[in-house]
């Protein structure tokens, strides 16, 4: 369940490991440090922009043929806007812009766009529940995302009759961390809480635990959604927890409430 955040979270002396990509990982680490925690970063997902291709350029130039444009992440939104700025001095009107989550929406709204996003939640499932995506038969949808991304949005909208084009803007990969780095963070640092905000990041953590022989399954694990929480439980994690939102302050507050609640005997 999501945990409401406290006014001033106190994480004095607590040890938190953040497995997000950069630069989000270091930004979140600063928020934890401000709350008194010892925070370390071990990014388990790297994102690399894909080179432009003639096919991708054609899609961008034909932007005005799409009714709906969906960005699945802040990173996807930033890359999409960079390309649009290069080819569209003024964006075409009549497009409905969508964001999966508040952070993605902010990237688009900061660019002057009017954005539709779920009133509650920050998942693909929540986005697909928007009324404006319920009846899309015959309409064209551009889906800005990473390479080999989750297929739920595309498959659902195609089942509703839309013509969906996936625009792959970046590639995800697992960084290569040395055994010394992993042993220092998993063993010597011994985190009490671990932040993994995607299913792919969680899978990389599970693999790294198995390969290094470290058992972190009894630690507090911060995950983004029910789907990933279930994935964590199946893998053996005992304490997956979904924050009130994916904003940095809510993640910090959730970790504080969970760790301090355990010590206080509330669980």
Residue keyed to tokens 């998942």: 123
- Nearest-angstrom CA–CA distance, 125 and 58: 29
Whether residue 69 is contained in a domain is answered as yes
Residues 103 and 36 in one domain: no
Structure tokens at 58: 């054609």
Whether residue 2 is contained in a domain is answered as no
Residues 161 and 130 in one domain: yes
Residues 106 and 157 in one domain: yes
Q: Which of 138, 172, 206 is the last residue of a domain?
A: 172
Residues 164 and 77 in one domain: yes
Residues 52 and 161 in one domain: yes
Each residue's pLDDT expressed in tens, for the chain with a length of 267 residues: 444 444 678 899 999 999 999 989 999 999 999 999 999 999 999 999 999 999 999 999 999 999 999 999 899 999 999 999 989 989 999 999 999 988 899 999 999 999 998 877 778 888 999 999 999 999 999 999 998 777 899 999 999 999 999 999 999 999 999 999 999 999 999 999 999 999 999 999 999 999 899 999 999 999 998 999 999 999 999 999 999 888 899 999 999 999 988 654 333
Whether residue 75 is contained in a domain is answered as yes
CA 11 to chain centre: 23
The count of domains in the chain is 2
Domain that holds residue 22: 9-45+175-263
Residues 195 and 113 in one domain: no
Whether residue 4 is contained in a domain is answered as no
What CATH code is carried by the domain that includes residue 248? 3.40.50.10090
Q: Which of 139, 156, 172 is the last residue of a domain?
A: 172
- Nearest-angstrom CA–CA distance, 19 and 158: 33
Whether residue 26 is contained in a domain is answered as yes
Question: Dihedrals φ, ψ of 57, to 5°?
Answer: -60, -40
Judge contact between 20 and 267, C-beta under 8 A: no
Whether residue 1 is contained in a domain is answered as no
Q: Residue 6: what pLDDT?
A: 43
Residues 75 and 38 in one domain: no
Q: Which of 149, 172, 195 is the last residue of a domain?
A: 172
Residues 124 and 149 in one domain: yes
Q: Residue 152: what pLDDT?
A: 92
Whether residue 3 is contained in a domain is answered as no
Residues 148 and 256 in one domain: no
Residue keyed to tokens 């940095």: 248
Residues 162 and 121 in one domain: yes
In three-state secondary structure terms, 35 is: coil
Residues 152 and 179 in one domain: no
Whether residue 108 is contained in a domain is answered as yes
Residues 152 and 200 in one domain: no
Structure tokens at 244: 């009130």
- Nearest-angstrom CA–CA distance, 21 and 236: 24
């Amino acid at each position: 369940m999501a945990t409401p955040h406290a006014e001033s979270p106190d994480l004095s002396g607590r040890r938190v490991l953040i497995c997000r990509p950069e630069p989000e990982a270091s930004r979140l680490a600063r928020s934890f440090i401000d709350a008194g925690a010892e925070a370390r970063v071990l990014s388990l997902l790297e994102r690399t922009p894909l080179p432009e291709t003639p096919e991708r350029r054609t899609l961008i130039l034909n932007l005005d043929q799409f009714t709906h444009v969906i960005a699945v992440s802040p990173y996807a939104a930033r890359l999409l806007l960079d390309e649009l700025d290069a080819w569209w001095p003024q964006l075409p009107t009549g497009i409905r812009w969508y964001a999966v989550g508040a952070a993605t929406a902010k990237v688009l709204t900061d660019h002057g766009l009017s954005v539709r996003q779920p009133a509650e939640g920050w998942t693909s499932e929540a986005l697909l529940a928007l009324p404006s995506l319920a009846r899309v038969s015959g309409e064209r949808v551009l889906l800005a995302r990473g390479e080999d991304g989750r297929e739920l949005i595309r498959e659902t909208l195609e089942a509703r009759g839309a013509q969906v084009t996936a625009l792959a803007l970046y590639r995800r990969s697992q960084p290569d961390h040395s055994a010394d780095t992993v042993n220092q963070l998993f063993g010597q640092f011994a985190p009490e809480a671990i932040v993994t905000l995607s299913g792919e990041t969680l899978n990389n953590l599970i693999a790294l635990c198995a390969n290094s022989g470290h058992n972190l399954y009894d630690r507090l694990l911060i995950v983004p959604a029910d789907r990933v929480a279930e994935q964590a439980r199946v893998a053996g994690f005992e304490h997956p927890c979904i924050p009130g939102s994916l904003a940095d302050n809510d993640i910090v507050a959730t970790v504080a409430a969970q760790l301090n609640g355990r010590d206080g005997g509330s669980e």
